[in-house]
Chains A and B, each alone.
Chain A
Amino acid sequence: MKARHDIRNAVRRHRLIRDMTQNELAELLGVTRQTVLSIEKGKYTPSIALALRLAEVFDVSVETLFQLKKENDNE
């Protein structure tokens, strides 16, 4: 089972609300822009540490950013 189909995230939405570019977010997180892009597209599930850093940057809970997809959710 591929992880990218199991978790949905709201990283892009929160980034846009704060009017941030992917580069700016990447710099705050200490990762590359490609990593931010991959997370937003659901192609990469970040580690717990990175997820916590994301939550800290956006000042929200991790559960607000990442949710498990239910079986009957449309992609």
Chain B
Amino acid sequence: MNRETPNERWRPTATTWLAGSLVVGGAALAVLSTGWFLLLSALGTFGPGVLRETGWLRDKDELQLRAAHRAGYHAYLVCGIAAFVSLAYFQSGVPDVGDSQNLALLFAVLLWCTWFLSALLSYWGPRKTAARILTAFGTFWIALMIINSIQLEWSGAAALLVQSLPAVPLFLLAWTSPRWPRTTGILLLVLSAFTLMLLAEPSEKNTGLVEQVIRVLLFFGPLLACGVSLLSVRGGDDYDDDGLAGDQR
């Protein structure tokens, strides 16, 4: 038996470290060498779940397991619907997207995104999930700008600051989501609609359609999910989702 002890602040367990290393390492090796290394990523992604279901790994408590099971059901529903939509699309004689590799990637992304978002929303609740996802998006944007600046010609700190400005509304919404969840939810829906317009490019011949859908899923999906879930937060809760202000009493 392998059980975590509760921590005051979340820290990655050995399982998380190992699984994360397999996912990242597998993806990196797949790019550098052969695609078969993606199986390592699959092992890191699904291995812990398989071990938990077979009883070999007992590192999650009942709420975490319930959130994971519920998320798995949601991922089954979403991917099932997507599979039938895809089948109907291909059976209906429309021009072939000719992109079977990215189609497989699309289903993997859809499965993982649905599962991940559902698990977070079930376990943390809407406010905390939205705050953390928005913070992660903002941090990712800034990191991307820094990496771009390093790889391309350095254009100065001022230029980097300007390029990082799109992260500001994300951090702002992360701050407002625990305090004014419904207002933030509406703003997130507006932001996700804007993101959708930005990412979705019309294409006459359906070229790159699957890639577009993946991009939309990865950026639009979390914002939409957070926005919709924040709208469902009831007013009049006595205290925050988890004591974001540090309350443990």
Cross-chain pair count, CB within 8 angstroms? 51
| Complex contact A21–B123 (CB within 8 A) | no
- Report the minimal beta-carbon distance from A17 to chain B, rounded to whole angstroms: 12
A34 touches B243 (CB 8 A): no
Residues of B within 8 A of A44 (CB): 63, 66
* Interface residue? B205 (CB, 8 A): no
User: Which residues from A are CB-within-8-Å of B123?
Assistant: 34
Q: How many residues of A contact B (CB 8 A)?
A: 20
User: Can you report 25 A-B residue pairs in the complex whose CB atoms are below 8 A from each other?
Assistant: A16-B249, A21-B248, A22-B243, A22-B248, A23-B8, A26-B6, A27-B5, A27-B6, A30-B3, A30-B61, A31-B6, A31-B61, A32-B4, A32-B63, A33-B7, A33-B242, A34-B123, A34-B242, A35-B64, A37-B241, A38-B125, A44-B63, A44-B66, A47-B62, A50-B62
- Nearest opposing residue in chain B for A22, CB measure: B248
A55 to chain B, nearest CB (A): 16
List of A residues within 8 angstroms of B6 by Cβ: 23, 26-27, 31-33
Asked whether any CB of chain A lies closer than 8 Å to the CB of B237, the reply is: yes
Question: Which of chain A's residues has its CB closest to B125's CB?
Answer: A43
B248 touches A32 (CB 8 A): no
Assembled-state Cα–Cα distance A37/B66 (Å): 15
In Å, the complex CA distance between A7 and B155 comes to: 60
Closest to B4 in A: A32
Contact A34 B63, beta carbon cutoff 8 Å: yes
Tell yes or no: A41 within 8 A of B by CB. Answer: yes
A22 vs B247: C-alpha distance when bound (angstroms)? 9
**Residue B124 lies at the interface, judged by CB distance under 8 Å to chain A:** yes
Q: Which residues of B contact A32 (CB under 8 A)?
A: 4, 6-7, 61, 63-64
Task: Specify which chain A residues have a CB less than 8 angstroms from the CB of B237 in the assembled complex.
Answer: 41
Q: Which of A16, A30, A37, A47 has a CB less than 8 Å from the CB of B242?
A: A37
The distance in angstroms between the C-alpha atoms of A23 and B249, with both chains bound, is: 9
